[in-house]
Amino acid sequence: MKARQIYPLVFAGISILAFNSAALADDLGDWVKFDGFGTIGAFKGNNANAGVRVDSRQSTASQNEWRFDGDTQASLQATFNPQGKLKAVLQLISKKDIKSSTKPTVEWAYVSYPIASDFDFKLGRTVAPVFLMSDYRNLAYAQTTVRPQSEVYNINAITYQDGVTGRWDKKVGSGNLQVEGFFGKTTVSNAVGEVKLDRVKGFSVKYADGSWAVRTGYSKYNAAFNAPTVAATIKSLTALPAVVCTNCSTVVPAVANINDMTAAITTLGGSYDDGEWIAQAEWAKRTGNSVIIAAVSGWNVLGARRFGDFTPYIGAGKYTTDAANPGLQAGPFAPAALKVQLNYLNASFIGVGRADHDTLTLGSRWDFAKNVALKVQYEKIKMAYPTVGASSYVSYPTSLLGKPNGFDGRVSLFTVNLDFVF
């Protein structure tokens, strides 16, 4: 079902709920419930030769300077008819995006209804239930760290999808089993360009028992990439004659397809929280048929302990590109400059970049007041290929075209955030 067909149904449902409930209830709380959350944040990278972002979907990066437009956000959520079976939810988030805009955007907009006591469905814009923290990915206050770890969460930048979601809940043993399935479409923008994802479909299985929770998920989608610079590079490479590039005309269209991409993501994560000790581990792997959405994998682990209002923590993670080198080969009459260019394009996956890195994280959370938490976090990042160049997370120029970039692959990110809910 297309978004333009879904949203009239969703907003009609919200309007009906609001009208009927308002007519029957004198108390505002009987028919609508408001919640809000936000973050006031500052971050700083420590390298003048590389810019580091807090999110690949943002335009701003810090190069040895303090910035205040990374994690900073303000969000409001309204739940209509919160005590009834038929509910509607509208969530707005204001946060700087890839276009440097802070205009509020619709993160959730759906109606839900329980078909049975253990099964309900949602129609509209809903969360994509892929990761361990997908349900509260934007709610920083509910997380131990300042934000979800990039080594895993950058593998799938999708936070919502427009379509339908079904969820089945069942008590199994002493815990609860939750199975979700979803189908829809969405759009994701990052520093490289805009990706339109169609036929987004998948499922997740979550089991929680006391202090423990485990979640696994699988999703698959078709995608089309809108990036004029990348498209121009692909077109020019494809047109190169065999005497200067023996295989560009065949290899480039095969490995750098931008109009008919497919990808699949598998995730597995687990967490433990007994009120004193916290442990978390997560892994994700993406496969694909184009270097634009390359095959990658990542993992992270986190450990923390609460001491009164303070929760110090330590974490580690790794992000790896699994895709094969494109293998472009210079022809017998290739100029020296073209040979250098082809070497760069092989190493950077046709200019997309190579974001392989390791991260060590140290931080602490201070819950000094009700519904307010101050977090301080230090991340030590080591890029595996400092000569290759730009990625959507840590961006830096390439050294493979003859001009050294001065980047040794090491950059640190320091963050101070104030998270709150109301």
Predicted pLDDT of residue 193: 73
Q: Which residues contact 155 (CB under 8 A, 6 or more apart)?
A: 265, 284, 285, 286, 296, 297, 298, 319
State how far the Cα of 180 lies from the Cα of 142, in Å rounded to an integer: 22
Average pLDDT score, the chain: 90
Q: Three-class SS string for 169-207?
A: EEEECCEEEEEEEEEEEEEEECCCCEEEEEEEEEEEEEE
Read off φ and ψ for residue 252, nearest 5 degrees: -60, -50
Residues recorded for the chain: 422
**CB 232 within 8 Å of CB 223:** no
Q: How many domains does the chain have?
A: 1
Domain span including residue 115: 3-421
Of the candidates 186, 18, 180, the one whose C-alpha atom is nearest the C-alpha of residue 88 is: 18
pLDDT tens digits, 170-228: 999 999 999 999 999 998 877 667 889 999 999 999 999 999 999 999 999 999 988 78
Predicted pLDDT of residue 351: 85
Beta bridge partners of 114: 120
pTM passes above 0.85: yes
CATH of the domain at 27: 2.40.160.10
Of the candidates 199, 201, 200, 197, the one whose C-alpha atom is nearest the C-alpha of residue 188 is: 197
The residue to which tokens 């971050």 are assigned:
43
Listed range (24-38, 309-323, 375-389) with the worst mean pLDDT = 24-38
Predicted pLDDT of residue 16: 39
Burial 263-297 (b: 16+ CB within 10 A, else e): bebbbbbbbebeeeebbbbbbbbbbbbbbbbbbbb
Which helix (H) or strand (E) segment is 250 a member of?
Answer: helix 248-255
